[in-house]
Structure 1
Amino acid sequence: MRYSRQIILPEIGEIGQQKLQDARVLVIGAGGLGCPVLQNLAAAGVGNIGIVDGDVVDETNLHRQLLYTLKDCGNSKAETARKVILELNPEITVNAFSEFFTANNAVRIVDDYQIIVDCTDAIAVRYLINDIAVAKRIPMVYASIHKFEGQVSVFNYKNGPSYRCLFPEQEGLNAAPNCTDSGVLGILPNTIGTLQATEVLKIILEIGEILSGKLLIYDALHFQTQTINFSKNPKMIEKGIINGTLLLNTKKTETDLSPESFFEKCNQLGIVVIDVRELDETPAFKGDSVVRIPLGELEEYSKKLDKNQEIVLFCQTGQRSQAALNYLIKSGFVGVFHLGKGIDSLKNQI
């Protein structure tokens, strides 16, 4: 009865519904895009859903992230989203990962999921998702939003173009994202997230035309859409496969610090602790070893540092410090760590 209205569609039927029940989909990010994706996948009967998000619900999320209410503020997004969509559909299996997606945990989290849905807002994480997906030969359903505009595409689908083919990686930190929100119309991520969920269902059901090699751009303010075609770039595919395979086959050194490990590091002699937030961000964290170098200035500042120097990075939520960590490691630094969930995880301790 629950699925009767979609089972009667000739393109779906009972066989299609069983495909949905057997599917394993990983949703990375449970924010503006992730909420509608999760709601729609759960409602459609996707049988195994993973939710990855290290953030907590904040009041500023509520105008667009409709899985959450005011009473959820301060709680884990991943765990809260899990409870809500299980109430929507208790017949499915949902796993919550209350952590940000990083090179250290990517292999463990992705495991045997068949499709990855990119609902993040961090460019560095998208390259990581792409590389894991292309190495495992599974599709990545992508979307991003900005103010009144959004875009959707599907990468790595049946040996199709990858994220790197459309957006070649820019080296250096000036290309790294800033966590500060530039603003967004609340309904926009719900529209774009629903389009993402549609592509996921089409991939599982093997119906329709998939947005592989196509970028759909939606302008909500002027109600305009356009589709841009793009092609595979063999060099970018190869780069993604190499990066992803290294991740899959290499045991990573744990670079994400818990609050306890962070304080322990900060108290060690000879450690450089770098706050990569903007200078006006709070709460402050002070100490003899702490220097404030905004992310955009770290590239220049790093030229003064010994590459064998042990360095600890932190920001508000862990996303900018992750980008900084990735850059320093690529630049040859060998002892770099960061506060995995950012200064927000220390608010009760400083």
Structure 2
Amino acid sequence: MKNTTRYSRQIVLPEIGLLGQQKLRDAHVLVIGAGGLGCPVLQNLAAAGVGSLGIVDGDVVEETNLHRQLLYTLKDCGKGKAATAAEAVLLLNPDVNVNVFSEFLNKQNAFEIVGDNQIIVDCTDSIGVRYLINDVAVSKNIPVVYASIYKFEGQVSVFNYKNGPSYRCLFPETESLITVPNCVASGVLGILPNTLGAFQATEVLKIILEIGSVLSGKLLIYDGLHYQTQLVDFAKNPAAIEKGRINGLKILNQENAELQALDSEAFLEKCRQDDCLVIDIREAYEEPEWKGANVVNVPLVALENYCCQLDKDESIVLFCQSGQRSQLALAYLKKEGFTELSHLKNGIQSL
């Protein structure tokens, strides 16, 4: 491992050493939100030598951010937070690999963004996004390091760590989410998110290094005004975890369906590829005809028998008249273990 001098003061700790520093170097951490909490998380993780950091934020820097979001300066106002934060992180530590997602996390992009990251750090201020993060993390079995802030107070916990409690176990979903205040409406002491973000970064490092006691099943409540802390235990709720897992799988299936639905241009390109099998699942009499060297007509009712002779890793494109039958066929083949599948969105009538 190169450049150990930078990390020599933490390498000397017997709980870390060279092996621990290599663990940090190999780690992939996704930070969702590059605001008050995300800035100190990114600063501390980059400084500690975490090798790969993903930054997710669709917002821009505003002057009102500057009293607490210390990655940014006045000249950054109007710039995208994710890209600007990435530049600041690389100035701090050029050895870090930074992946920038200049967008807000939503159901359409969540699984793609989370990718192969090992830990998610929830630095958001949206309750709905926190449930989304939870559900994706539970379905992928990824720990989430959480924090939230309010005026002079904050709280930190770790969810879904080694089969532990999830966000839904502590905060069951309610119908009154819109009433939860954020710092725009309620205000916040500028130093508070930096304190809580440092707590989050500490939990991330402990998880990577497998040292100490992780805040799984525990909620740390911090009162900065009176300098008081409280540690509250909470239990695992199997029903809440299962709800998150089911929701996550629904989101994944929806996202995959979108990724596997081809527009007309992508479909025509597939038809030109010799190594791609294009299956017309319409009945033989249906029009318009669509022919090609790699196009075969296999009506939906005959697909089960036909697919038995196919390689399950073969690239296959399905189409029908409107896209409905081809979507059903895609779902069936996916269930049978086929891996390279797509279909023509809205069917041949869209060409």
TM-score, normalising length: structure 2: 0.70
Counterpart of 1:76 in structure 2 is 80
Counterpart of 2:135 in structure 1 is 131
Q: Aligned equivalents of 1:190 and 1:21: distance in 2? A: 24
The answer to whether residue 19 in structure 2 is matched with residue 15 in structure 1 is yes
Answer yes or no: is the 8 Å Cα contact 2:150–2:186 preserved in 1: yes
Answer yes or no: is the 8 Å Cα contact 2:151–2:187 preserved in 1: yes
Counterpart of 2:296 in structure 1 is none
Number of positions where the alignment pairs a residue of Structure 1 with one of Structure 2? 254
Counterpart of 1:231 in structure 2 is 235
Deviation per CA, 1:153-183, whole angstroms, max 9, x where unpaired?
0000000000000000013564566684310
Deviation at 1:77, TM superposition (A): 0.4
Q: Aligned equivalents of 1:45 and 1:178: distance in 2? A: 31
The within-5 A match list for 1:172-191 is 174-175=178-179, 180-191=184-195
Counterpart of 1:99 in structure 2 is 103
Alpha carbons of structure 1 residues 146 and 176: separation in structure 2 relative to 1, 3 Å: closer
The answer to whether residue 66 in structure 2 is matched with residue 62 in structure 1 is yes
CA RMSD of aligned residues (A): 1.4
Answer yes or no: is the 8 Å Cα contact 1:123–1:177 preserved in 2: no
Alpha carbons of structure 1 residues 160 and 173: separation in structure 2 relative to 1, 3 Å: closer
Instruction: For structure 1, list consecutive stretches of 5 or more residues without a partner in the other structure.
Output: 255-350
Answer yes or no: is the 8 Å Cα contact 1:133–1:156 preserved in 2: yes
The answer to whether residue 94 in structure 2 is matched with residue 90 in structure 1 is yes
1:199 to 203, 217, 231: 203
Answer yes or no: is the 8 Å Cα contact 1:140–1:156 preserved in 2: yes
Matched residue type, 1:87: L
Q: Aligned equivalents of 1:111 and 1:36: distance in 2? A: 23
SS at match of 1:60: helix
Name which one, 1 or 2, has greater alpha-carbon Rg.
2
Counterpart of 1:26 in structure 2 is 30
Instruction: For structure 2, list consecutive stretches of 5 or more residues without a partner in the other structure.
Output: 259-351
Q: Aligned equivalents of 1:116 and 1:138: distance in 2? A: 7
SS at match of 2:121: strand
Matched residue type, 1:95: N
Answer yes or no: is the 8 Å Cα contact 2:151–2:183 preserved in 1: no
Deviation at 1:248, TM superposition (A): 1.9
Matched residue type, 2:40: P
Matched residue type, 1:246: K
Q: Aligned equivalents of 2:220 and 2:200: distance in 1? A: 11
Matched residue type, 2:174: Q
The within-5 A match list for 1:1-350 is 1-171=5-175, 174-175=178-179, 180-251=184-255
Q: Aligned equivalents of 1:177 and 1:239: distance in 2? A: 25
Matched residue type, 1:238: E
Answer yes or no: is the 8 Å Cα contact 1:218–1:226 preserved in 2: yes
Q: Aligned equivalents of 1:163 and 1:173: distance in 2? A: 14
Matched residue type, 1:158: K
Answer yes or no: is the 8 Å Cα contact 2:150–2:183 preserved in 1: no
TM-score, normalising length: structure 1: 0.71
Answer yes or no: is the 8 Å Cα contact 1:56–1:75 preserved in 2: yes
